[in-house]
Structures are given as C-alpha cells and as structure tokens.
C-alpha cells in the first residue's frame, strides 16, 4: 500500500466468489476500460446473477449491448461487490478484465509488478 492505495500489476490474481464456490483467476488490469467484464461462461459456472440491467458497451469489436451483474471479487486482499459486464471472452487470454469502476477505489498500477 502507498498512501492508502493498493498497488496492482497489469496482470493480477483475483478471486471471484460465486453462490456456492470461489475461483481464483488471472485478470487483466485495463485503465482504458470504463467497466470491468467477466466471461459469460465463467459467470455461469460461478452462478453469478441475476442480470441487474443492460448497457451499451464500446470495445475494439464495436458497440454491443451487454448484461451487467453484481459480482463479489477479491483483489489484493480487498473484498468488493462490483458491477461487471458479461462478455464472450472465450477467445481472450484473460477471462476477467478489471476496469476503471474498480480501479477508482484507490488502486495504483505498477507495470513492473508481477502477478
């Protein structure tokens, strides 16, 4: 911690807490993403939900309407219940993306820090 802020790297181990289970995954830290996202299949595995609303999300693949869920997540020992958009991240290396909605909660990014 530095000045009350938690330091994370570009890739970070996070724990996702589902209804009946918990899963540790590597997540990509992305300061350019407004919202965090989770792979829809991973969310189903964790029994995340229900979907609380939908929103239009702009990505490298264009603009698309996505569902939004509340998800319990633990990052660097900090427990939070945050909103994640549901996305098809099956073709991506990281099934979870941590965006600004979480990073604004007093996180600092150190690109040299290993996961």
**Amino acid 1: pLDDT:** 67
Q: What is the DSSP letter of 86?
A: E
**Amino acid 2: pLDDT:** 74
Q: What is the DSSP letter of 33?
A: -
% of the chain exceeding 70 in pLDDT = 99
**Structure token digits, residue 17:** 């807490």
**Between the CA atoms of 84, 6, 15 and 30, what dihedral angle is there, to the nearest 10 degrees?**
40
Per-residue pLDDT tens digits for 35-49: 999 999 999 999 998
**Amino acid 75: pLDDT:** 97
**Amino acid 115: pLDDT:** 80
Domain spans in the chain, listed from the N-terminal domain onward: 6-109
Per-residue pLDDT tens digits for 53-110: 999 988 777 889 999 999 999 999 999 999 999 999 999 999 999 999 999 999 999 9
For residue 85, what are the CA distances in angstroms to 33, 54, 112? Answer: 11, 8, 28
User: What is the architecture, at CATH level 2, of domain 6-109?
Assistant: Beta Barrel (2.40)
CA atoms within 13 A on the CB side of 5: 13
């Amino acid at each position: 911690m530095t000045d009350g802020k938690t330091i994370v790297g570009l890739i970070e181990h996070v724990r996702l807490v589902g209804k009946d289970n918990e899963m540790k995954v590597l997540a990509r830290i992305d300061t350019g993403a407004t919202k965090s996202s989770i792979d829809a299949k991973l969310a189903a595995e964790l029994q995340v939900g229900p979907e609380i609303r939908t929103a239009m999300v702009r990505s490298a693949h264009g603009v698309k309407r996505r569902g939004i869920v509340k998800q319990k997540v633990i990052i660097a020992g900090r427990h939070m219940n945050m909103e994640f958009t549901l996305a098809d991240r099956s073709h991506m290396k990281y099934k979870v993306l941590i965006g600004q909605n979480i990073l604004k909660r007093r996180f600092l990014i150190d690109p040299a820090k290993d996961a």
